[in-house]
Structure 1
Amino acid sequence: MIMRTFWHHHRELYRYQLTAHEVRDALREQLDPEYSLEQCQNDLVALKEWGCLTTIYDSSRATSIASFLSPALLYQATPEAMAIETFLAEQTRANASSGALRQGDLSRLWDMLIRIDEMLQQDLAVLNTSQCQEIADEWQRAFEIWNTMAREAAQYLANMISASQSSKPDLEAYQHYKSAVVAYVHGFAQALTLYGPRIREQLAQWRALGKLEPFVSLLANYLNPPAPTLDQVRTVDELRLDAQKQVDALAGWFAPGKNADSFRRNALAEVDKVVRRAASLASASRPNANYAQQLQSLAHTFLQARDGETAQQLFSVAFAHPLPIHLSEGLAGTPNDLYMPDQAIAWQEEPASTLYLRPVSRTNRGEQAREDPIIDNRLLTQNLIEQYEERLQEQLRRFNRLFAQERLDIGTLKKVTAQERTILLDIIDSCLGQPSHQCRALDDSIVVLLNPDEAEYTLLKASDGVLLLPRYCLERRMMPALVAVSARDSKEREDEDVDR
């Protein structure tokens, strides 16, 4: 606690030297109100012997000759002790952090690499000291952004895995968590898909053009500030090794099949688990349709009712009906019909209604249930067929609008409707699932996917959002008979437009 107090004053209050009284007051607030000055001084002496603290005399506060001759001691933490406390604080913060998917860091990292590439277009041998320092500083900022982004992303994925293994969460809260995490992870995965290949190609271009080795040598010269003592001076080989490790770490994270790709796969797999678990929780929370137990408890409550009025109220509340149609008026009617205190011999009179009770036996089970009348479904079936044909014709019209030309380049589409996007995705999925990369369309024409291994991505804009997908090129091939039919249909449509 004493070293953490020094670290707190050092990092947050910018105070590097403390007296024993200040340390004692801080520990009284944080740890023990009865912590004495003598105990504090003994602990400070022990820390000094261990090499965690150093002492200097403070004669600036002297008010007399005696206080000047015996000045108060000021305690200061050593750099090694501060480094240990900083490491422990960072580990504590990392363990307590929930992680994050910093989608904006990818764009900032790409912008910094672009600026570094513009600087590397010049000859590094003719650059002055300020320009070299600017390149090294820009790389350090880019490396820190990547390091923080990778660490936070790994922590967030670990928290997703632990959250998926927790038991009995609140369904409503888990549904909100599911919708938020799906959008959150998919957004980061799309950004990673967009910027990952760019960063990978940029680093590969530096290596191919021979700029990577001079760049590493430049970073090694400006990696650390000048050391105050000779013991802390690092050799050129050590600095170059550290610079090379930084470049290799960033390049390895974005390499094909490495951390970036594996994170994207694992994140999408965890999202699928979250969605599946939310569905299972929703199905498990549905009410049970078996009401036998509720009816049994209601029957016992009726048997324990004190009078008819209580039973009637219970029945009305349970079935939400004031007068049951399957019970007689004398059993579930108003209380006046059941009990009339002004008529002492009312029980001797004939009942107003006769109740016939059927015998209970295996042969007499009451009235047999009548069969339901046969429903004529011909009109309903005809309506369904007409709706299906209308939807089919609408899909065919949208398909013909998309393939007005024989070849369709997705990158040239400015904006489509959500239904047209669905048709395009179905055609692309069907083509990718066939070895010949072709499928049969609604009008029996053949659609061929010309570039199934396309690496360039494009944005397909629709009325309900934007979809990132490879820039596929599709070609529609029609049979001769279909060409004639299509020409005839187009001519009929033109004639109809003229008539209108």
Structure 2
Amino acid sequence: MADVASDAVRPFAHLQSEHADRYRLVLAAFTRAKDRFVVHLRPEDVHADLGHLLDLDGVTNGLAQLTTWGNLRADPDTGRVTTPEDFNRARYLYQLTSEGEAAEQAIAVYEEAVGRRGVLQSVALTDIASQLHALLHLLKEANDAGTSADAAKAHLLLLSIVERFASLADNAQAFMASLRRTIDFADSDVDAFVAYKERLITYIERFIADLANQGAEIARLAHEVEAAGVRDVLDAAARREAADAVPDADSDTDAYALTFTVALDRWRARWDGLRSWFVSADARRPSQAKLLRSAAIASITQLLATVSAINDRRSGRSDRSADFRRLAVWFAEATDDDAHRLWRAAFAMSSARHLSVTPATTAVWDEQRVPSSTPWREAPALRISPQLRRTGSYERRGTPNRVADRSEQRRFLAERAARESAQTAAARAELATDGPVLLSQLAELDPLAFRLFLQLLGDALAARGRDGAEVRVTSSDGTMRVRLTPVPHAPEVAIRTADGVLQGPEHLIDIAQTGPAGDN
């Protein structure tokens, strides 16, 4: 049996057929065989692979139909021919065609993309920062030696960075999409959603903190790698990929030059994408990392709002007959005066809030107290303005109240915000050190700088592991970077401030400013 004509190849036709499940089982057997480096299969081999899922006749019919559609190729099976009768009997070996194999790969990619939930990869952030550190070290060594960076090492580092970055971006997008679906379909299983909410919020909060710290570090490293000559490394990576270019038999174009140009454009686009993901172009174009943080924070708000709505609906469910029985018990236990007050509260018989009373009426009520036991028909009438009866609204005569001028208050708030911003900037400048210094060598800090120092020190100590090794952290706004190193066998030190004395073990601390808030 020969291959089907190219214009008749329809490798996706089996998905819309009546026996699509049968054809998917047969093609899955060929995919598993290819993974074992087995190319040709006989109908008996496919039947043995599927076990009891299909009988031999069903397998044979499926193979024939898939060959017609172009998913499989059938070649005469002459390996077991021993007699002329065997030669004349139709026996075939089947294998996937290039079109059938491409269709299987496309279906696998589609099923993976549809079924993937996505994750927030904090580990990927750490890996990207580590690989950028290694690339920066490689570039600095080459610059100090006056030579070019090792192309092979740089290429491997770039491949690792791109692989982790692509995984981070794709998984983050898939996770946020699945999170929106989880929120939208929360009503389908309320109890499961409420139980899952706490773990999900904790998971998102941890990623937000990691993204703030590691994102600022990656943004700083991206700037330094660019300054060290990343364009030369991208050029070297493109040349390594173009070295294996295959000549085109149908064209006289230089395969190396064409492949190099395409590869260089691709590597530059990858680097620009990585940079724009973590570094904001300006205030109007924030980085993708900053947008992801905002979306993650907004998702927490949506989760809490959804849970609140669910609780409101649950608390709103009541048994009306039980409410009336409870109300009847209250009436039975109440005194006469309390019964009147309960009646007004239970059946909304209180005065309407939108009705206003004149001072004269209020004075009459004060002079003539009406006991709660007075029947309604014997109680004094409530006089209502004829205009209210006629139009349904009543407004006092006269000019409306003047709009208050708040310019002085706004000026005061603006001056206060500017003063606090200047004080914070001065505190950052005061805390910045020129390299590592001992805690005991810090000068006396003013209260604002001391509070900022406590916040940075607390972040560093919280991020340090049990081994007590050196730790590096970035402030939550990305403006300062702290490196804290313990000093073995050192005595305790005391830092004097206007608010008191801070005592603790000796450490080496290095505080540096990374730029204004919002750069990453």
TM range (shorter): 0.5 to 0.7
| Conserved? CA contact 1:58–1:72, under 8 Å | yes
* Structure having the higher Rg: 1
User: Which letter maps to 1:217?
Assistant: D
In the alignment, structure 1 residue 460 sits paired with structure 2 residue 483: no
Partner SS state of residue 98, structure 1? coil
Partner of 1:46: 68
Deviation at 1:434, TM superposition (A): 3.8
Aligned mates of 1:67, 1:135 — CA distance in 2: 64
Residue 231 of structure 2 aligns to which amino acid in structure 1? E
* CA distance in 2 between partners of 1:26 and 1:20 (Å): 10
Report the equivalent of 1:36.
58
AA at the equivalent of 1:460:
G
1:213 Cα deviation after fit: 2.0
The one-letter code sitting in structure 1 at the alignment partner of 2:43 is: A
TM-score by length of 1: 0.55
Residue 10 (structure 1) aligned with residue 34 (structure 2): yes
Aligned-pair CA distance for 1:133 = 2.7
Q: What residue number does 2:295 align with?
A: 266
Residue number in structure 1 paired with 2:305:
276
C-alpha spacing 1:136/1:449, structure 2 compared with 1 (3 Å):
closer
**Match status 1:248 vs 2:266:** no
Compute the displacement of 1:37 (Å): 5.3
Q: How does 1:27-426 map to 2 (within 5 A)?
A: 33=55, 35-36=57-58, 38-47=60-69, 50=70, 52-54=71-73, 62=80, 64=82, 73-79=92-98, 81-123=100-142, 131-166=150-185, 168-209=187-228, 211-223=229-241, 226=244, 230=248, 235-256=259-280, 257-286=286-315, 292-293=321-322, 295-296=324-325, 368=337
Partner of 2:424: 449
Task: Identify if the C-alpha distance between structure 1 residues 472 and 114 changes in structure 2 by more than 3 Å, giving closer, same or farther.
Answer: closer
Identity of counterpart residues, as a percentage?
15
Q: What is the letter of the counterpart of residue 299 of structure 2?
A: E
Deviates more, 1:187-196 or 1:75-84: 75-84
Instruction: Work out the CA distance in 2 between the residues paired with 1:229 and 1:19.
Output: 37
- The one-letter amino acid of 1:20's match is P
> Contact conserved, 1:23 with 1:40, CA < 8 A, in 2?
no
Unaligned runs of 5+ in 2: 1-23, 281-285, 340-412, 433-454, 465-472, 481-497, 501-520
- 2:186 and 2:193 in contact (8 A); partners too: no
Partners of 1:283 and 1:242 lie apart in 2 by 53
CA shift for structure 1 position 38 = 4.6
* CA–CA separation in structure 1 for the residues paired with 2:118 and 2:200: 13
Give secondary structure in 2 for the equivalent of 1:85. helix
* Counterparts of 1:17 and 1:139, CA distance in 2: 39
Listed as ranges, the gaps of 5+ residues in structure 1 are: 300-318, 320-325, 328-364, 371-430, 440-446, 474-486, 491-500
Q: Which secondary structure state, in structure 2, belongs to the residue aligned with residue 21 of structure 1?
A: helix
Confirm or deny: 8 A CA contact 1:27 1:35 kept in the other structure. Answer: no
| SS of residue matched to 1:436 | helix
| Pairwise CA distance, 1:194 | 1.3
**CA separation of 1:78/1:132 partners in 2, compared to 1, >3 Å: closer, same or farther?**
farther
Per the alignment, residue 444 of structure 2 pairs with: none
Q: Secondary structure at the match of 1:76?
A: strand
Task: Report the 3-state secondary structure (helix = DSSP H, G, I; strand = E; otherwise coil) of the residue aligned with 2:94.
Answer: strand
Q: How many residues align?
A: 339
Q: Deviation of residue 246 (structure 1)?
A: 2.1
Cα offsets for 1:46-102 (capped at 9, x unmatched): 25xx4x54566766x548476997896443334554344223312211111111111
Which residue pairs with 1:435 in the alignment?
417
Question: 2:212·2:476 contact (CA, 8 Å) conserved in 1?
Answer: no
Distance 2:87 2:245 in 1: 36
TM-score under structure 2 normalisation?
Answer: 0.53
Change (3 A) 1:218 1:81: farther
Question: SS of 1:281's equivalent?
Answer: helix
Q: Deviations over 1:356-407 (max 9, x none)?
A: xxxxxxxxx965559xxxxxxxxxxxxxxxxxxxxxxxxxxxxxxxxxxxxx
Asked if the contact 1:450–1:472 (Cα under 8 Å) also holds between the matched residues in 2, the reply is no
> Structure 1 residues 366, 109: closer, same or farther in 2, change over 3 A?
closer
Q: Partner of 1:384 in structure 2?
A: none
What is the one-letter code of the residue matched to 2:151? C
SS in 2 for 1:435: helix
Give the structure 1 partner of residue 18 of structure 2. Answer: none
User: Are 2:216 and 2:478, in contact at CA under 8 Å, matched by a contact in 1?
Assistant: no
Residues 462 and 117 (structure 1), Cα distance of their counterparts in 2 relative to 1, 3 Å cut: closer
Are residues 259 and 469 of structure 1, via their aligned partners in 2, closer, same or farther at CA, if it must alter by over 3 Å?
A: closer
Q: What RMSD in Å do the two structures reach over aligned CA positions? A: 4.7
The structural deviation recorded for 1:14 is 4.0
